[in-house]
Amino acid sequence: MVLQLYNTLTRKKELFKEIKKGKVTYYFCGPTPYNYVHLGNLRAYIFADLLRRYLKYKGYQVFEVMNFTDVDDKTIKNAKAAKQSLQVYTQKFIDAFIEDFKLLNIELPEKLIKATDHIPEMIDLIKKLEKNGLAYKSEDGSIYFSIKKFKNYGKLALLEKTKLRQNADGRMKNDEYEKEDAKDFALWKAYHKDDGNVFWETKYGKGRPGWHIECSAMSTKYLGDTFDIHGGGVDLIFPHHTNEIAQSEGATNKKFVNYWVHNAHLIVNGEKMSKSKRNFFTLRDLIKKGDDPKAIRYELLSTHYRAQLDFREENLKNLKETLQKFNDFLLMLDDCIEKQKKKKYETNNVVDHLIRDAKEAFENAMDNDLNISEALAAVFTFMHDVNKIKNDLHAFDADKIKTEMQNFDSVLGIMDYERGAIDQKIETKIQERERARKKKDFKKADLIRNELLKQGIILEDTADGARWKKA
Ligand code: AMP
Ligand code: ZN
């Protein structure tokens, strides 16, 4: 089956066809590092991750670029208030963002880049726009993009130009009188004293880039004039992505992006989570309260990306139990691999069928614009069916099933099957405890049990010796 993705550009699900066979060029708008990102932002990056992981599952070689908007009004203002350089101030939040990625098991993009490292590329792009007659200089020295000169302006957001101008008239009268047209946007902002020591000396004078030019310049630098997929939250459709298209296509006269993908918002109490509404919390806030990052990942992941996600912290506890089901299942398989390997092997068609059906159901669901709930249902059905025949499983089959679970998890990123490294340490401790028990040193045995418990390992004494699982 071929992957179908909902393309915002056409408002339709479309078969995905890459530009270069087997390769996907992919850009996802990154955060503005003026503060810690909130859970709404992280929903966007979980979606970005799910898409890249599924593309990889399908065998594509993914090259993903994500940016940090590390220069804008907010970063400048906050750095100034903190009496830090822009670079030092934003780096702290960039580092925190990468930590959040690791905690949520989000794969890092192939390129994670800062806008401030790409000023020359932005200037080059503005030069091209100027050459094509799409940019003009305002009285204060800023450079604007002229939307009336770009014929397809607003296609992504389904905007009509006249309406746009009317809507923007209010703003025209106030702060944006430098522009010829209310909706023209800044490519380059002339220096203002509020910018303090944040400026670049360029062909266009002293100043700093506009927000939209950053993403146009950075995406095309690494992915080419035309690339496969560009994503972000729905709030970016207009004006950000609309303006990116105008700039990039205005400069190259080529199609900028083939597939535009946008995630719906995460909401709390019926409202979009956002910094300005002060209804936000960060990953740190939740982890401090003892919430489990994998359960948070699961909650962010398990609603379809184009549906609003009503985030409820109280769900996390149940989700943790759901995750435990995956892990118990994997432990059962490990046990079977360990204990049934000497059993004579007879081909088990049932297992092969179950695997084939599960795989097919999972892929059909994910191919349908990443239908995550059906994909998860396929995995649950698989586990349920395997559990029914678990006593007849041979190690060889258990191993096959485990491999399939790992394949599913390469997309989901929610299971704990990599026991190898921790296994060794835990096994050593368990043997030490067994020795203590044999010597009737129950004090020491309990001490070891508690020590393991503190590391989140629960011991169960069975007839075959001690078994462990994660708490
Ligand atoms: P920002 O740093 O505000 O540019 O946002 C970074 C990313 O998070 C963008 O793709 C936004 O569209 C996305 N985003 C912001 N708020 C939410 C939300 N409440 N739910 C989902 N995505 C969001
Ligand atoms: Zn962007």
* pLDDT above 90: percentage of residues in the chain: 76
Mean pLDDT of 399-422: 86
pLDDT exceeds cutoff 50 at 153: yes
Q: Closest by alpha carbon to 233, among 49, 53, 34, 48?
A: 48
Give the pLDDT of residue 177. Answer: 53
**CA 187 vs CA 127, 211, 214: distances in Å:** 10, 8, 9
The Å distance, Cα 241 to ligand 2 centre, comes to 7
Q: What are the tens digits of pLDDT across the range 264-273?
A: 999 998 899 9
Q: What are the tens digits of pLDDT across the range 280-322?
A: 999 999 999 989 999 999 999 999 999 999 999 999 989 988 9
Task: Let me know: does 413 contact 105? Beta carbons within 8 Å.
Answer: yes
Give the pLDDT of residue 268. Answer: 92
**Ligand nearest to the backbone CA of 247:** 2
Query: From the CB of 31, is ligand 1 less than 6 Å away?
Result: yes
Q: Where are the alpha helices (DSSP H) in 261-310?
A: 283-288, 293-301
pLDDT exceeds cutoff 80 at 426: no
Q: Strand 200-202 to strand 465-470: parallel, antiparallel, or no bridges (unpaired)?
A: unpaired
* pLDDT above 70: percentage of residues in the chain: 94
Task: Let me know: does 358 contact 404? Beta carbons within 8 Å.
Answer: yes
Give the pLDDT of residue 290. Answer: 87
More reliable by pLDDT, 321 or 7: 7
Mean pLDDT of 449-464: 82
pLDDT exceeds cutoff 70 at 176: no
More reliable by pLDDT, 418 or 306: 306
Residue nearest to atom 14 of ligand 1 (CA): 41
The Å distance, Cα 266 to ligand 2 centre, comes to 19
The Å distance, Cα 185 to ligand 2 centre, comes to 15
pLDDT exceeds cutoff 60 at 201: yes
Mean pLDDT of 6-31: 98
Give the pLDDT of residue 204. Answer: 96
Mean pLDDT of 49-57: 98
The Å distance, Cα 67 to ligand 2 centre, comes to 7
Give the pLDDT of residue 468. Answer: 80
pLDDT exceeds cutoff 60 at 165: no
Residue nearest to atom 7 of ligand 1 (CA): 41
Q: What are the tens digits of pLDDT across the range 96-120?
A: 999 999 999 999 999 999 999 999 9
CA dist., res. 396 & res. 394, Å (int): 5
Give the pLDDT of residue 67. Answer: 98
Mean pLDDT of 53-79: 97
Q: What is the pTM of this model?
A: 0.88
Q: What ligand 1 atom has the least distance to the C-alpha of 234?
A: 12
Q: What are the tens digits of pLDDT across the range 347-404?
A: 789 999 999 999 999 999 999 999 999 999 999 999 999 999 999 899 999 999 999 9
Q: Report the b/e string of 426-436 with b at 16+ CB within 10 A.
A: beebbeebeeb
Task: Let me know: does 434 contact 465? Beta carbons within 8 Å.
Answer: yes
pLDDT exceeds cutoff 80 at 420: no
Mean pLDDT of 17-40: 98
